[in-house]
Amino acid sequence: ALENLEVNVIGMTCAACSGSVEKALLKVDGVFRASIALLQNKAEVTYDPSRVKEEDIKEAIEDIGFEVEIIP
């Protein structure tokens, strides 16, 4: 079954930032949907937990230069 993950993304200041986060997330194998809320500093990700771990999703965002906090 697919799962949803909500994270705080720290450091997004413009629409190009949120665009690059969305693009990076959608490139991750097992990620189906990524919705970035620039003003709320949030990303909501729909993924297949049998194909990708929460940690890998976090890393994909960190790799392009933003900090991430998982919202429990």
Is residue 39 involved in binding ligand 9UX (CB under 6 A)?
Answer: no
**Options 11-19, 24-32, 38-46, 55-63: segment touching ligand 9UX (CB under 6 A):** 11-19
Cα dihedral 65, 18, 54, 57 sign: negative
Half-sphere exposure of 72 (CA within 13 A, CB side): 0
Is residue 38 involved in binding ligand 9UX (CB under 6 A)?
Answer: no
Is residue 16 involved in binding ligand 9UX (CB under 6 A)?
Answer: yes
What DSSP element (H or E) covers 8?
A: strand 3-10
The residues that touch ligand 9UX, with contacts defined as CB under 6 A, are 13-14, 16-17
